[in-house]
Amino acid sequence: MGVALVLALIIAPEDADQGISQRIFYIHVPIALTAYFCFGLGAFKALLHLWKGDERYDLESYVAIHQGTIFGALTLITGSIWARASWGVWWTWSSNQLVLFLVLFLFYCAYFMLRFSLEDGPRRARSSAVYALFGVALIPVSFLAIRLAEDFIHPTVFTRDGPQMSATMFVTFVVCWGAVTLLAYVLYRVELAGKRLDANLRELREVLQ
Amino acid sequence: MSWSQSDLVAAAYSVVFVFVLVYVAIIAAKLARLQRETAELVELARAKSRADA
């Protein structure tokens, strides 16, 4: 993470068009991609839960979606700051990618409302899994929105001709993406271990009392 | 309020840093609670074993 920060804030050259504000790209895009990945992972684990009926996949799906929501909130905040720097506004409803990402984020926020409105047990796990699977349809739509709608407000850096940036900028982006993915993985494992330990302790308490 | 480009870059990176910091603090608090609960359960198990003996 330290190397990524040095590369993003000091070593990477300044963008000729956007200036210093382009440096937000190195944190905003990896966080957005990680959010998509976490939501996708949550849906995949939900599918495994419905397929195999194993309870551990329900917990894994929940933790992945929780991580996705955290990274989703960060995507919206850093994106809003970048919008202020580039377009002079904190938010614009005319960019399809922004609105679709907000829809995706709110959809997964509602996942928690559904989950915690039901009693703990197999019914809650199944309902949550089905809901998580529905949300996965929004991921490619949100990701490809800018290309589908030919919206030129939101910048497109990765085109069919490859990344539209210098080699140093691309290396910086890859290192930052790796760092954010690693951070997300560590947070995912720590949260999952905490939740499993919590459940085991609750069970142990019931046995002892 | 007028924001310079550098202010906005600093704000974006600071927000991420604060989020991670808060997250780690929450996990640390949870870990402390689990540590307390484990100690309580150890005591409970010892008391139960003494009562059984």
> Could you read off the pLDDT of B1-50 as tens digits, one per residue?
677 888 899 999 999 999 999 998 998 899 899 999 989 888 888 888 88
pLDDT for res A38:
94
Task: Of A18-32, A158-172, B26-40, give the range with the top mean pLDDT.
Answer: B26-40
pLDDT for res A2:
81
Sign (positive/negative) of CA torsion A112, B34, A56, A43?
positive
Confidence of residue A43 (pLDDT cuts 50, 70, 90): very high
Confidence of residue A17 (pLDDT cuts 50, 70, 90): confident
> Could you read off the pLDDT of A116-133 as tens digits, one per residue?
998 888 889 999 999 988
pLDDT for res A77:
93
**Whole-Å CA distances, A73 to A4, A34, A113:** 21, 12, 17
Q: Work out the average pLDDT over A40-55.
A: 91
- Does the pLDDT at position A106 exceed 80? yes
Beta bridge partners of A15: A19
Please give the Cα distance from A84 to B3 (Å, whole number).
Answer: 9
Q: What pTM, to 2 d.p., does this model score?
A: 0.85
CB contact under 8 A, A201 and B11: no
- Does the pLDDT at position A193 exceed 80? yes
- From the list A66, A76, A1, the residue with the least C-alpha distance to A38 is A66
pLDDT for res B33:
92
Mutation target among A5, A20, A71 for the B interface, most CBs of B within 10 A? A20
- Does the pLDDT at position A150 exceed 60? no
ipTM over 0.90: no
Contacts 24+ apart (CB under 8 A), A174-177: A175/A3, A175/A4, A175/A7, A176/A4, A176/A7, A176/A8, A176/A26, A176/A27, A176/A30, A177/A29, A177/A30, A177/A33
For chain B, which residues lie within 8 Å of any Cβ of chain A, measuring from their own Cβ?
3, 5-6, 8-9, 11-13, 15-16, 19-20, 23, 27, 30-31, 34, 37-38, 41, 44-45, 48
pLDDT for res B17:
92
Which among A27, A28, A194 is the nearest to B31, CB-wise? A194
- Amino acid at residue number A16: A
Please give the Cα distance from A180 to A23 (Å, whole number).
Answer: 15
Mutation target among B1, B2, B5, B17 for the A interface, most CBs of A within 10 A? B5
